[in-house]
Amino acid sequence: MKKATVSLVLALCCALLASGCAKKPKVTETLPTAQPALADTQDSSKNSNFNQNATGDLMVGNAQTGMQAIYFEFDSVLLSDEARATLQKNAQWLKSNAGSRITIEGHTDERGSDAYNLALGERRAVATRNYLVTLGVSADRIQIISYGEERPALQGSTEDAWSKNRRAEFM
């Protein structure tokens, strides 16, 4: 009787161990399941202008305003010199159009958990807003939202795709 009980306990432990160690399957395409709280009801791809510059790099901007997206390094919220130069141009447009309000959308690449990427996207949008405010744009004209990895500019699991997805866009 004792051997049967021990065998049963061992079998249950092995079953629990085996089921607890199952790997989460990698999702190759992420589809948005719900609109974030501050999101417009319109699809952002209708407002964005996805095109390529002379070197073939993907450029993301708002077709209505001419404001250009900025890009971030992996796992970073620091603004590069190039991002600061783009934000200075965007700030000039905002100052010339004093009645305009914008939403800064923070985006990430697919690496990391959903929760981490949403938080990182928000920190990127906040850093972008804060820099625009230092350039003289009123903070009450700027909303922020994070989409994390939900709305990639470029599909794929390559460094090129990831670098285009780590961005802040202006709507």
**From the CB of residue 97, how many other CB atoms can be counted at a distance below 10 Å?**
12
- Tell me the C-alpha distance between 17 and 34, whole Å: 34
* Strands annotated E in the chain: 48-52, 58-62, 70-71, 102-107, 142-148, 167-170
- Tell me the C-alpha distance between 171 and 163, whole Å: 20
Whether residue 164 contacts residue 125, with contact meaning beta carbons closer than 8 Å, is answered with: no
Domain that holds residue 96: 75-171
In-domain check, residue 30: no
Confidence (pLDDT) at 102: 96
In-domain check, residue 70: no
In-domain check, residue 106: yes
SS3 content of the chain, % helix, strand, coil (to 5): 40, 20, 40
pLDDT 10s digit of each residue in the chain, 171 long?
Answer: 566 555 555 555 555 444 444 433 333 333 333 333 333 333 333 333 333 333 333 344 554 567 999 999 999 999 999 999 999 999 999 999 989 999 999 999 999 999 999 999 999 999 999 999 999 999 999 999 999 999 999 999 999 999 999 999 999
3-state SS class at 60: strand
In-domain check, residue 4: no
In-domain check, residue 34: no
pTM value is 0.65
Whether residue 72 contacts residue 153, with contact meaning beta carbons closer than 8 Å, is answered with: no
Number of domain units in the chain = 1
Confidence (pLDDT) at 53: 37
3-state SS class at 147: strand
Confidence (pLDDT) at 66: 75
In-domain check, residue 123: yes
3-state SS class at 133: helix
**Angle, vertex CA 112, rays to CA 115 and CA 106, nearest 5:** 65
In-domain check, residue 88: yes
CATH number at residue 157: 3.30.1330.60
Whether residue 36 contacts residue 147, with contact meaning beta carbons closer than 8 Å, is answered with: yes
In-domain check, residue 116: yes
